[in-house]
Chains A and B, each alone.
Chain A
Amino acid sequence: MKKIVYSILSVAVMAFAASSCDKFLDSESPSAFDAATVYANYSLTEGTIFGITEAFCEVNSYRGRFLPWYGHNTDIEWYNAFKKGDGKSDISGYDCLPNNSQLNLSNGPFPLMYMGIERANLVIEGIRAYGDPANRPEMAQLLGEALTLRAMIYYDLTKAWGDVPARFTSLTSETIYAPKESRDVIYKQILDDLREAIPYLPNPGANAAASRTDRVNKVFAEGLFARIALMASGYAIRPDDGQVGTGDLGTVRLSSDPALQKDVLYPEALAFLKAAYGKASLEADFQNYWYKQNNMDNLTAGPAYETLYVIPFGAGRGRWNFTYAIKSEGASISNGVDRGGDAGPLPTVYFMYDKGDQRRDVTCVNYKWTKDNNIEPAGIGKWYFGKYRFEWMKAQPYTGGNDDGIKPVVMRYADILLMAAEIENELNGPAEAKKYLQEVRARACGEDAAAAYVAGLGTQEAFFEAVAKERALEFCGEFLRKADLIRWNRLKTALDDAKAQMQDLRDLQGNYAGLSGDIAYALSEDGQSMDIQFLAPGDKAPAGYELSPAYVTTFDDSKKTGFYLERIEGIYVGDPVQHMFWPIFNDTMTNSQGYIKNDYGYDNLK
């Protein structure tokens, strides 16, 4: 009897167990949500937007590799620690190979930018599926933010690598591997994305999120559209149509895609820029703008503010001043540690500014901080970006670590103005374009001088040249120049011209024929900066100034000091046209299982 009861019981138990097995074996983390929950909730969705930007902050992402390495050398910015054959110099010298010691990383910028893209794809799909953006403007704003961030990452990817895989939907097991796609496909998609995003986004200051420069606002999206339109319709080395990812050498040319021609994109970009006009302002004083930037005071967006978007590094993240600030050999401003000055303006940039242009002494600095907290001339070969100064970090002094908390500016209002000037001039000539250029110029040189300067620009060509020069003067050290030179098809000529200019300076001829090679220098009253004057033959040092004779002409090519030739020639070592883009690095090629191949004459893995 007992046996029978047991048998029945056990059969019953087993049958019950089997039927409820699947339910029993379903298991989810209590600390996790699914997409339906996340994207229906505003603050959780906002958290996923931060997930996109978190990709910028990873060790070797924007923070440690992309921002410190994309953008030099140009005719206005160069790497200061030149050492022939060194992996770092190779990057600046257009000799960056697929095994580059700084960039061939599995956690390098390329993989992490795609991590950001995947996160953005998930956000975009999630809000569309669960966030009801048609009826919830706050969700539409987040959708606009995600679309804009994705466009920005793709802009940076195509700027650095040319053609890259196009991933606009979240990954599935089937789509993990993708070959490079023509950048035209990417341009068209991200331009479309921005067309969709711009109406969703509020103007700077219009609501809480849009009042922060670490969040995306409408003017940034409009400016980004123009930036991308300029690049997409501009020159660059491109493989022949249909030959992307085949090891094609490429030629410098315009896109053949009818949707990416200037006559299509410029009017639309200009409309966006005009819409953006007046929605932000230039900071009245150029130096004060940069002082605030260094003093962690650039997080507010609004009609009265210049900054449109920054890389949202936390207070202890980012390596901007660490990399680019005025050199400190271990002064207390850098907490006793040797930091900054990795790159700087070319010495010739100082001489490009008009007399009285405020921007010159803010941008070009030829002194450094020594260990004992003094300022001394740095030598003619080493100039620093005065826009970035440890001594301006008052609110949060730099502690000497690898991170400084500086939030690099991605776009500021001056760029909206100068892009508007360039495009307006291209479409309709200088007449209407002048006001934009004049506005930028006025801050630097004063209203009257600016008006006079602009009035003298009669032809479309002259105006374009003025804009091209103004972009150098305004944005030196902000690393927009390389992309500008590429799209204008001027990269090699500009670099060659820079080499020639440097030779001229070294030999005190050409534009520099009026110099003696001596300088006079004096500390400012507050002891925080130094005035350096290049003297003409026969000049004496003004009162209160020290004389440094033969400052320019003291160089020793064999000892590699001063203005030595190898470094001037090192502005580019590889062919800047053939290698205007970085190669896809070995680690990425390996992990693409053969899908991704290099073009532009770079090596491919066996």
Chain B
Amino acid sequence: MKAKKLILALLGMVTALSLSAQTTIKGIVTDESGEPLIGAGVVVEGTTLGTITGVDGDYVLTVPQNAVNLVFSFIGLADQTIAINGQTEINVVLRADQTFLDEVVVVGYATVKRRDLLGSVSSVGSDKLAEQPVTTVSQALSGKMAGVSVVTTEGDPDADIKIRVRGGGSITQDSSPLYIVDGFPVESINDIPSSEIASIDVLKDAFSTAIYGSRGANGVVIVTTKSAEKGQKISVKFNTYYGLKTMANKNAIVAMDAENFVKFQYELGVIRDNLSSYYQPFFGNYADIDLYKGMATNDWIQAVFGNTGSTFSADFSVSGSGEMGNWTLGYAHMGDEAIMAGSTYTRDNLSFKGNFKTSENTSIDANVRYSRVNVRGAGANGINDTGTTSGNGRLKHAVSYSPIPLVSTVQGVDEEQDYGDNAPPLLSVADNDSRRIRTTWNANAAFNWKIVDKLNLKIEGGLEKYNQTDDRFYGMTTYYVANNSTDKTGVSNQHKEAFRTKYRNTNTLNYDFANVIGNEDHNLTLLLGEEMTITKSNLLTLMVDGLNASYDAPMAWNFLSSGTPASTDNYYNPDDKLLSFFGRVNYDYKHRYSVGATLRADGSSKFSRGNRWGFFPSAAVSWTLSNEPWMSGAHGWLDQLKLRYSFGTAGNNNIPSGQLVKQYSSTVTAWLSQSSNYWMAGKVMNNPDLTWEKSYTHNIGVDFGFFQGRLSGSVEVYQNDTKDLLINFPITGSGYDSQYRNLGSTRNRGVELTLSAPVISGKHFSLNVGGNIAYNQNRVMDLGGLDKITAQSYWASTEIGDDYVVEVGKPMGNMYGYQSDGMYSPDDFTWNGSKWVLNEGVVDASGILGASYMLPGAPKYKDLTGDGKVTVADRTVIGNASPDFTGGFNFSGYLYGFDFSANFNFMLGNQVYNANKVEFTSSRKFNNRNLMDAMDVDKRWTNIDWATGEMITDPDQLKAVNAGKTMWAPFVGSAIFSDWAVEDASFLRLQSVTVGYTLPESLTQKVHLRRARIYVTGTNLFCLTKYSGYDPEVDTRRATPLTPGVDYSAYPKSIGFVAGLNLTF
């Protein structure tokens, strides 16, 4: 109480002091066309003192005697700073914010204007993010920034979104960039609503990232959340939208109808020479096959993914500013009913951000964010059923499951992967239900102290509490219940809780040498800092078996106590600690020549003493040609021309903690008769010699601006070498599965171009065009003496074997398999009276097809070794998942009250491994599974005379029956990966189109609205591609980064329409 009084008294004194010497300034703020700007901000620079303009664009502001400059701002227009110099009337014309060179860019621990940048940074502002109503911010970034590729791996509402900066350097480790939100390092930015974000800056070259040292090697994504609007005492914003969506490109995969399904089963039975067990018990005698013609079928794809989804989003924020400081308080809600049965997503966010002036030389920043995400549904490949490596995507069930009711499909099953893999699709969705609730609290505070003029100290502290609860239900049709459960008579539930607490303390000291030098030609600034982060985490896992078999998922979650606890584990990870010291110095002469240098030293607890300190220096120079006196003649058309070069190193310690020493921990098991747990030292071998992965980047950039901002942009050329890669190296057969090692190096080289062009701008109309394109080339330079590293995507369990290979001198993401050679013709065989015998000199693929499937019409593969047989030795590189070019472009503008925007993104030269196509056109070892309609009997090769049901043994008759067919027969012993399944997945996508209308101010003023806008948006309206699957932007086998670009049973994406409303009071 006393303290409060004291503060009030002090404040009174301060106010009294400032009141004693004040002047009043007035004026009118207009736009270029002379229209008055209503609601423009007018603020005394360096204070929070300000006002907003009225209906006529007029303002009156009382300013203290010592005020130097006034800052005028208006949304969408460039800020202007005008020196007061004793004037009492200041009229200002605000111009469109057309030069992207004037953007403020966030670099490590500071901000600079883009025109003063030394390194390579891509940025997106809130206007671009807000345009597109998306579930997550990452989605909105797609195609917006040169060299930043954003891949939404699947269509589910909580899908992984892979962000890669300049290709990414790691081989086995996640190449995700470091995410920093308001200075705090976080794991993901997906739980932040786009309405709360002011800007996103991506640091790409090592000069920019080196200041972040650790994990900077794969780029740094810096998110800045919104602060209060300047000059507004109170501002209230409300945005909402509602939208509907349906499955996109739904005709890409269509299952066969009853007749074709039954004929497929029949031919399979004939080829396997066992109609009595493969065909007759299910479908009866051949004589009755006509019964299936035209029989009604279940469209399981439609049943599972055919829902019309809906999205509702509403966010609300109040912000204010005054002499004491400014603050903003926001709440956002998003609810999403996805297209898959039972799949939902909701998110609630609460945020507070404030800046308070505590004295003339001190201020406090405070920032608290809360988010809660609830994801329901059987989900996508991300949630695997225990025990099967072939994934748990729902699509495969929907296509493969019998389209007509069969007597029994579980009878006679003896392959492990059949459990949970061929259950009725809707039942299977219900039996694999899951719920994920993620809550995050993030609180940051900073104390700013201007120790003396130009010397600022900032002490920041932050805390993040993260908790993710996963409930995974296992119904009666799942592999887990059939095999692993301790009580197979009931259903089971796995309950997992992941806890993570992260602390951060950062202390930085900034000094601007302006006063010391006393010469405006020289600018020298210095940053020194120290930072410490500690992450503590643990994972609690409970398995409860034997819940009542009649329970559905919510009942299992609510009545967990009615089952039998099978296992409990609570594992505490070693703390992940990072201690850093860093500094940066920038010098420029007459805004023409700049040099900068940074150094960061990071100590990580993930490495042992002696290896744990990494030093990451970098340096950059720039020359602004346009500021040279001899270039003054070009000022009519040239705004800016700047050359930049930087070189630097950044590090990466992106491996799990605790790899250094052998540590024994206990593991729960139901597999042993002796005990319910055992002790072991892990399946990943320790390695005491681990140290930092380092990347070395050269970056040359040219920034340019022409014709008073009509065209501006930049070109970047880079080479990024990553060395001592941290690789999770497979060593099976030695005693462990793998070991983390520093091994080998990779190189990414590329070119990036960013352009921005306000083509037309006028009072009532404008058109802006922007775009970017990036080329990246990736090479593995060295694998530490090894020839190659192979990897399996495991989508077909172990049938396919290695289907990816990393080799020295070749890019990462190389797909490895056979070369397709059409199909066998009757001329390749001779009928010997009882079977087809392969002719001399014809390549024999029975080794991979299975001997009984070697028939006319079987798929044929090239024999590269020339030994007359197709064997594993005939595999070669047949595709690559990495794109050559990525980018995007957008149009935006306005026409009277209407505004519009369209965003496109594209990738060129990337290939997709279409595993769906293999799975849905191959019998493999299964029976009673359906295929896609490409395998309809009249489209593919058949060896059956459908008039009699007998196998055709006459070559001429076979040729006549199959005349003109190019699709081989689906009969193979196991899945085979060939270049037929590798498809060019280049695409151009219209991500979104928005048309909005802002109500005239004359109308809105009457209800005290500053702005009211309604809009409609269409998302994912079209995707031009040759790719035959659902969507070319796909990545489903994400257990290791070695297997990118597999389209296996992905959750399909959707097309949506949204209508929304933005209100500002």
Contact = CB atoms under 8 A, between A and B. Distances in A.
A31 B571 contact: yes
A33 B735 CA distance: 20
B948 interface: no
A54 B680 contact: yes
A372 interface: no
A212 to B, nearest CB: 7
Nearest to A38: B664
Interface stretch (A171-179, A251-259, A279-287): A171-179
Given A29-B658, A101-B799, A337-B411, A115 B735 contact: yes
A106 interface: yes
Given A27-B576, A48-B678, A101-B974, A399 B731 contact: no
A339 interface: yes
B485 interface: yes
Interface stretch (A264-272, A310-318, A431-439): A310-318
Contact of B574 (A2, A27, A178): A27
Given A115-B736, A558-B834, A29 B579 contact: no
A338 B281 CA distance: 14
Interface stretch (A70-78, A182-190, A589-597): A589-597
A119 B739 CA distance: 16
B732 A173 contact: no
A26 B609 contact: yes
Contacts of A338: 411-414
A331 B72 CA distance: 85
Contacts of B974: 101
B671 A54 contact: yes
A300 interface: no
A25 B612 contact: yes
B675 A35 contact: no
A54 B571 contact: no
Contacts of A177: 734
A86 B850 contact: yes
Nearest to B612: A25
Contacts of A28: 574, 658, 661, 663
B735 A114 contact: yes
A136 interface: no
Contact of B801 (A53, A330, A587): A587
B110 interface: no
Interface in A7-49: 14, 17, 21-22, 24-35, 37-38, 44, 46-48
Interface in B469-512: 482-486, 488-489
Given A54-B680, A402-B416, A587-B801, A22 B673 contact: no
A117 B451 CA distance: 64
B483 A122 contact: no
A59 interface: yes
Contacts of B664: 32-35, 37-38, 44, 48
Contacts of A47: 666, 675, 677-679
Contact of A51 (B413, B579, B679): B679
Nearest to A560: B273
A410 interface: no
Contacts of B661: 28, 34
A12 B664 CA distance: 39
Contact of A104 (B662, B671, B787, B798): B798
A106 B792 contact: yes
Interface residues of A, number: 96
B947 interface: no
A50 B675 contact: yes
Contacts of B412: 330, 337-338
Given A299-B673, A316-B484, A337 B413 contact: yes
B681 interface: yes
B10 interface: no
A99 interface: yes
B786 interface: yes
A214 B851 contact: no
B790 interface: yes
Contact of A50 (B410, B486, B678): B678
A516 to B, nearest CB: 28
Contact of A27 (B273, B486, B605): B605
A167 interface: yes
Given A31-B572, A312-B674, A401-B482, A2 B734 contact: no
A130 to B, nearest CB: 12
Given A25-B577, A337-B413, A590-B802, A314 B678 contact: no
Interface in A551-606: 558, 560, 586-588, 590-594, 596, 603, 605-606
A17 to B, nearest CB: 7
Interface residues of B, number: 90
A417 to B, nearest CB: 26
B573 A313 contact: no
A260 to B, nearest CB: 26
Interface in A355-413: 399-403, 407
B670 A122 contact: no
B634 interface: no
B678 A84 contact: no
Most buried by B among A214, A312, A590: A590
B728 interface: no
Nearest to B573: A29
B414 A167 contact: no
B873 interface: yes
A54 B678 contact: yes
B872 interface: yes
Nearest to B536: A30
B798 A330 contact: no
B530 interface: yes
Interface string B736-750: 110101000000000
Nearest to A45: B679
Interface string A152-188: 0000000000000001000101001110000000000
A24 B605 CA distance: 8
B673 A588 contact: no
A591 B683 contact: no
A118 interface: yes
A401 B683 CA distance: 27
Contacts of A82: none
Interface in B654-710: 657-658, 661-667, 669-675, 677-681, 683, 685, 687, 689
A46 B666 CA distance: 12
A50 B680 CA distance: 9
A21 B732 contact: no
Given A51-B680, A54-B671, A299-B673, A106 B730 contact: yes
B233 to A, nearest CB: 36
Nearest to B854: A85
A19 to B, nearest CB: 12
Given A47-B666, A47-B678, A48-B678, A14 B671 contact: no
Contacts of A506: none
Contacts of B846: 85
B483 A401 contact: yes
Contacts of A596: 733
B278 interface: no
Which residue, of A29, A48, A57, has the highest number of chain B Cβ atoms within 10 A?
A29
Nearest to B662: A35
B538 to A, nearest CB: 8
Interface in B620-677: 657-658, 661-667, 669-675, 677
Identify the interface centre among B412, B577, B675: most chain A CB within 10 Å of its CB: B675
Given A6-B457, A27-B657, A330-B412, 12 more contacts: A17-B530, A25-B609, A26-B605, A28-B658, A50-B677, A111-B733, A171-B734, A337-B410, A337-B412, A400-B482, A591-B734, A606-B873
14 contacts: A14-B581, A22-B603, A25-B603, A33-B664, A38-B679, A64-B416, A85-B852, A122-B681, A173-B689, A337-B412, A339-B414, A402-B419, A402-B483, A596-B733
Query: Which 10 A-B residue pairings sit nearest by Cβ, starting from the closest?
Result: A118-B735, A85-B851, A47-B679, A32-B663, A50-B678, A57-B671, A27-B605, A51-B680, A111-B732, A30-B572
